A = this chain, B = another copy of it.
């Protein structure tokens, strides 16, 4: 891995572990094994590095979601596969956790990739839910856009509950609850 990539990877790890406020340029350099001169050769600063890191994480997250949501099967099967896929629940979501970072939400440039990731994910889920509705799997009265927000919220809130409990159990329960509601139709 080149120095530039090593810097981005180290920033991704530190953002996930410590958040933006808790990550210093010095900590990034230390983790990447890169000097200050090398960091400022590749990036204008911590913000520029964070943007590259968040964009790469967002791409991976959306590709992983597409793997389940674009697979064969009914809408409910695909959403079940997406919600039930293996996750590092106690680490939380590398994108969702950034919304608790005051310096990220206060900065439109840093917030943009976080916002776009969730908007993209919600649109993809709404598409699948719309297909399920058109196929008669889900009631015609359900609003795919609202329900897509509910499903992403269950995941993000499930991470919050799991980290509070130091156990993946409430995450699994939250997912079971929404799937039971979907299946009951």
Main DSSP-derived SS at the A contact region: helix
Residues of A in contact (CB 8 Å), total: 59
* Copies of the chain in the assembly: 2
- Is residue A64 contacting chain B, with contact meaning CB distance below 8 A? no
Q: Tell me if A166 and B118 are in contact (CB < 8 A).
A: no
Residues of B within 8 A of A139 (CB): 184
B-side contacts of A165, CB under 8 Å: 115, 118-119
Give A19 to B99 CA distance when docked, in angstroms.
Answer: 12
- CA–CA, A146 and B176, complex, Å: 6
- A21 surroundings in chain B (CB, below 8 A): 18-19, 21-22
- Taking CB atoms, residues of chain B closer than 8 Å to A95 are 164
Residues on A facing B (Cβ under 8 Å): 17-19, 21-22, 92, 95-97, 99-102, 105, 111, 114-115, 117-119, 122, 139, 141-143, 145-161, 163-166, 170-171, 173-178, 180-182, 184-185
20 CB contacts below 8 A, A to B, read A19-B21, A22-B22, A92-B100, A95-B164, A99-B164, A115-B165, A117-B164, A118-B170, A122-B161, A143-B177, A145-B173, A146-B174, A147-B177, A149-B170, A150-B173, A153-B154, A156-B156, A156-B161, A178-B181, A181-B181
